Copies of this chain bind each other. A is one copy, B any other.
Amino acid sequence: MHFAVIARIVGILLMVFSATMLIPAIISLLAADGAVMAFLIAFVLCFGCGGIVWLFVRRARSELNIRDGFLVVALFWTVLGCFGSLPFLLAEGLHLPLSDAVFESISGLTTTGATVITGLDELPVSILFYRQFLQWLGGIGIIVIAVAILPILGIGGMQLYRAETPGPVKDSKLTPRITGTAKALFLIYLYLTIACTAAYWLAGMSGFDALCHAFSTVAIGGFSTHDASLGYFDNSMILIIASVFMLLAGINFGVHFFAWRSRRFYHYLRDSETRFYLFAVLVSCVVIVSFLAYTKTYTVQESVLLGVFHTISIATTTGFAAADFAVWPAFVPVMLILLSFMGGCGGSTAGGMKVVRVMLITKQGIRELKQLIHPHAIIPLKVGNKRVDAKTVSAVWSFFAVYMFSFLLILLALMASNMDYTTAFSATSATLNNLGPGLGDVSAHYGDVSRSAKWVLCYAMLLGRLEIFTLLVLFTPAFWKH
């Protein structure tokens, strides 16, 4: 383990991250909302701590190995998650307790979008901006890590994207060095955000709301600047725009990269994961809309609009709401929450287990049925036109099992803290899948949850965002032995 180099990276990261505090500080100054000192103190603390660490190890240089990679990725979210909580702790009239401040910060950075704050509409605008901006940063963080680093670490079968890049990507490698890749992905992310901001603004949002919600949409975060989320605007066009951009943000940014570079739209449809994703969302929309219309929860027209919007919002793990879906016939919220276990594509900002894994598991299930009927046949497992090697398949399976197991442990921990079943089930799903809103006591916000439960949920958000294994591997003795 190269601790000095890792410390150097974390130090630099903190110093860069401290710049994040300056933008809301400026906004606070302009709006005179009284939060400027909170952001300046947070800036000094972040920059100072990062700088001190950096000073001590600034000369450290060596190649990082795979184990260092795990530690860097895990530290990215835990360290930034902790330092990101400073403005919530310090801001006048907010002064969240530690558990709440860390929860809000981790929820933003992991793009979960579960909030402990109520009365958003009365909050200082700088704090509102900061919350949305945290998600946006977390979003580009996970894209770069998922596209450029996780395939190298080989977590949960993500080597799929390395050795066996599916469909159109196969002939042309992503810019090989991580920095080059990161730059390309960042530009796509930026363009998407600009387009989304413009669309929201044209549909009638204020410039501030448009930018804030674009951050939230493209990052699949789900934080809003209003307690009523997107329902506040009461505007069908905004729901349609949100649906389109959530759907786009749920696609692998590597696929975006190749489709945009070659300017060929069909690249999307040639990628088997994207096809599976769009098909699954389509089928779910049809089921949910039909159910809403059939049970006369809404008129047919409203069922289509609200059904499609909420299906995309929850299936991609964004978590925006335009109506209180927790009070719809129980089938709908439960089916939606189950959908969030799949989430979006790998290499996107979405949470959940990722489409590519669910697709592989489905294919393997069908393959197994065929194998039972023809026990001596050799039936290969393919993604796109490429055969998937046994190691990758077994990594995906293990991911699935460990995901389920983590889910159960967190569920039981919450229930042991005396949470009721619906709340515990939905809170576990909503945090582990980086979804955000739940049902029961957490359908609107997480403010009323006990302090110990909040820490458990913070852990669940990190576990989900770090694809379980990145965090879990740190708890094994073998990781720390040489």
Contact = CB atoms under 8 A, between A and B. Distances in A.
The CB with the most chain B CB atoms within 10 A, among A390, A394, A469, is that of: A394
B369 A469 contact: yes
A375 B338 contact: no
Given A422-B422, A473-B373, A479-B373, A365 B411 contact: no
B334 A421 contact: yes
A416 interface: yes
A118 interface: no
A397 interface: yes
A153 B372 contact: yes
A338 B368 contact: no
Interface of A: 66-67, 70, 153-155, 291, 329-331, 334-335, 338, 361-362, 364-365, 367-375, 390-391, 393-395, 397-402, 404-405, 408, 411-412, 415-416, 418, 420-422, 425, 469, 472-473, 476, 478-479
Contacts of A374: 478
Contact of A390 (B66, B390, B402, B405): B390
B390 A330 contact: no
Nearest to A332: B415
B330 A372 contact: no
A476 B373 contact: yes
A411 B338 CA distance: 11
Given A331-B416, A393-B394, A372 B469 contact: yes
A399 B368 CA distance: 9
Given A330-B421, A335-B415, 13 more contacts: A66-B372, A67-B373, A334-B411, A361-B401, A364-B397, A368-B402, A370-B476, A370-B478, A372-B473, A373-B473, A373-B479, A397-B400, A421-B422
Contacts of A367: 398
Contacts of A469: 368-369, 372
B331 A369 contact: no
When A and B form their complex, which 6 residue pairs have the shortest distance between CB atoms, in order from nearest?
A368-B398, A397-B397, A331-B415, A361-B401, A331-B416, A365-B402
Contacts of A338: 408, 412
Contacts of A472: 369
A5 B338 CA distance: 44
B67 A330 contact: no
Contact of A405 (B365, B411, B420): B365
B335 A412 contact: yes
Contacts of A415: 330-331, 334-335
Given A394-B393, A405-B365, A373 B478 contact: yes
A412 to B, nearest CB: 6
Contacts of A398: 364-365, 367-368
Contact of A476 (B154, B369, B400): B369
Contacts of A361: 401
A318 B291 CA distance: 36
Contacts of A390: 390
Contacts of A331: 412, 415-416, 418
The CB with the most chain B CB atoms within 10 A, among A66, A398, A415, A420, is that of: A398
Contacts of A334: 411-412, 415, 421
A143 B47 CA distance: 67
B368 A395 contact: yes
